[in-house]
Amino acid sequence: MKNLFGHLLVPGALILGLFILLLLASCGPAPMNTPLPTPTPTATPPPPPPTNTPSPTATDTPSLPTPEPGPESASGQGSGVFKPLASSACEALADAMAKALGVKPVTSEEAFTDYISGQSGTGCQAMVTGTGADFGELPAVASKLQKMLEDQGWTYQMEYQADGPAGTGMGFRKETGLCLLSVNWQPSADANCPEDQPLASCKLKPEQKLFTIALNCAQSAAQ
């Protein structure tokens, strides 16, 4: 029986050993679950407060000046509200001026500005130069040219009258046309008029009064 018991004991011990090994394997320490580190929240700085920049106002913006019409060229090109009279009307005025003054004027197209309304454009101008010996005294010259224009159908406009010791200005209208007349004189260099005294106090000979007489006429450019 010993041999038999011994024979049976070996397999039993083997089975028992295997069982114990399996039991130990199944009861071994569980794998360690290492907790992940909790991330530390990073403080986000608040956005900067908005800058209170006021919107530009009309007073902050420098006002640009209203542009004026530029001088017109001698050829009459431009975008003003005035244009020269018809060539026949310009020639008729120049001829009448020559008869009134006894001097043939120089004619050209020049810049024209209505100094009452401020509107500009181009006009046909007739200009003469001479001395008091040629034309006489200022009031007489102005009166002679006023009559000449009225005989041509132009009407005197009081609001354009401008007078000074050595010049006068007048305006005349006819339909949509406007004529501006200027009669001015200045003493010649040899007169030696004192600069600190009124011009009327300077004793001048007629030939020492140098006249410039200009008649500039225009009409509405819309015509």
Query: Would you state the pLDDT for residue 200?
Result: 77
Distance CA 23, CA 19 (A): 6
Query: Would you state the pLDDT for residue 22?
Result: 56
- What SS3 class is residue 148? helix
Query: Would you state the pLDDT for residue 195?
Result: 82
Q: For residue 82, is pLDDT > 50? A: yes
Higher pLDDT residue, 28 or 5?
A: 28
pLDDT digits (tens, 9 = 90+) for 64-73: 333 333 343 3
Q: For residue 219, is pLDDT > 90? A: yes
Classify the C-alpha dihedral 13-15-18-19 as positive or negative.
negative
pLDDT digits (tens, 9 = 90+) for 128-150: 999 999 999 999 999 999 999 99
Q: For residue 34, is pLDDT > 80? A: no
Task: Produce one character per residue of 130-158: b if its CB has 16 or more CB atoms within 10 Å, e if not.
Answer: bebebbeebeebbeebbebbeebebeeee
Alpha-carbon separation of residue 144 from 8, 126, 174 (angstroms): 166, 16, 19
Distance CA 37, CA 90 (A): 103
Query: Would you state the pLDDT for residue 55?
Result: 35
Tell me the pLDDT band of 21, cut-offs 50, 70 and 90: low
Query: Would you state the pLDDT for residue 196?
Result: 81
Q: What's the average model confidence in pLDDT over 191-207?
A: 86
* Neighbouring C-beta atoms of residue 85, cutoff 10 Å: 22
- Mean pLDDT, all residues of the chain: 76
Longest Cα–Cα distance of the chain, Å, equals 180
